[in-house]
Structure 1
Amino acid sequence: MPFRRKKSEETSQLYSMLALAQAGDETARNDLIESYTPFILRTASQASRRYIDRGQDDEFSIALMAMNEAIDRFDGSKKSSFLGFAETIIRRRLIDYYRSQKSQNRSVPWTEFDVSDDEDNVINYVEVKTSIDAYEMAEEQEARRSDIEAYAQALRHYGLTFSDLVELSPKHADARQSAIQVAKIVASDEAMRAYVHERKALPLKLLEDKVNVSRKTLERQRKYILAVVILLSGEFQHLQAYIS
């Protein structure tokens, strides 16, 4: 437990420094880079497959530039890991560097997009963008997979499974949309959400006064509606997007 608390505190401090650095606080940027110099060295060494000396190797300077780039480009709204993002940028910038050292090999399709910065470091923004996109896609897939596992567990607390959803989902699109609208009404009402949470059931009597749907239809679709309420009421952002 103490270890987890310390880890959480370190993560909180990292993102606090990152926010300040992105807002233009150069002291915070320098502190962040200094604190994570071991991470930068380790990533550069792994990418280079050899020990990198911060005082002698160009790779360290390139990795530092990449860390700065990661600070500038990281988008916290996507809820991805900054260190994972920074590692991707560092690796790609080092790849650019090594490719620039072997400029005679022009077989890579997008080398025509290579440009040099003020210090003659070769940057390939197409390749960096492709790498970033691949990283963010992997992060998105992992987050969605995590949401699915958590949602499945939440459903079990209500005696439901994914198989039930497939079987119970209204076959017609208009009926399905109607059921989803009912679920949204329940999820947005504090009293009805509390009823669902406490009794693991739909508040059918309360619903009858709020929706233009027959009691018979509500009872027939209750498990499906309940499952959607669970989805909308929980922290399943990557799955909620599928509910139109």
Structure 2
Amino acid sequence: MTTTALEGAVHFTNTSEAVRAWVHGWALSRGAVEPAALPWGFTVSLGLPGHVMSHVLPTADEATVRELTGGATGPGVWLKAFVPAESLASWIAPGWSLSGAPGFLMSIALDTNSARTPAPPPCLPRGYRLRTWTDSGVVHARVHAPDGTVAARGQTSVDGTTAVVDKIETHSAHRRRGLGRVIMHTLVDAAAERGATVGLLASTAEGRFLYEATGWHVVAPLANALRVPDPVG
């Protein structure tokens, strides 16, 4: 395995260090038990239909990926590797396929200076309202549309000095109205208030542009693979 030095990232000297920080906060955000540390990385047990567990590789190479994917025979097992999607696609064993579009792990330094004057939050369009709450250490934010439906959402967990921003989503009918910026501003401020000094998130290629516009930096590519059900018959 190789460890890649980072350019433009904050608080981390290499990809492996950043991924190790991210996986603990991601498991907390998803309500999973503490990730199990293994020689090649971590296993996070979620126990959900279609997402039984995730193997997370802070670094990845062909031999490790082939061994892991070759030994997983049941569906609903995921593998998260911080390598280009084309590399992961060529390494996974039969019965596995890439899932979703290629993404990125991203980071940002958080301003924890309590003496600063907070930047004004982005304004919500008329009729929209923001709701926040904390549950089991995870801060949730929702923007509701004038008809009461959820227009945008997101959440963040804080593990030590690292905040993991997760599940950021804006409904297609409410995009291009600044709702994503409101959610991100709310979650980042909440994390800084709880002592986090660095934020991490897993982004889609589409979301990357929103995050880069607000100061986030790409740490590494992220590709996901899924063990699919065996053919019937």
TM > 0.5 between the two?
Answer: no
Which structure's residues are more often strand, by fraction? Answer: 2
TM superposition score normalised by structure 1: 0.20
Relative to total residues, which structure has the larger helix share, 1 or 2?
1
Which of structures 1 and 2 has the bigger CA Rg?
1
Q: Flag the structure with more relative contact order, 1 or 2, with Cα contacts below 8 A and sequence separation at least 6.
A: 2
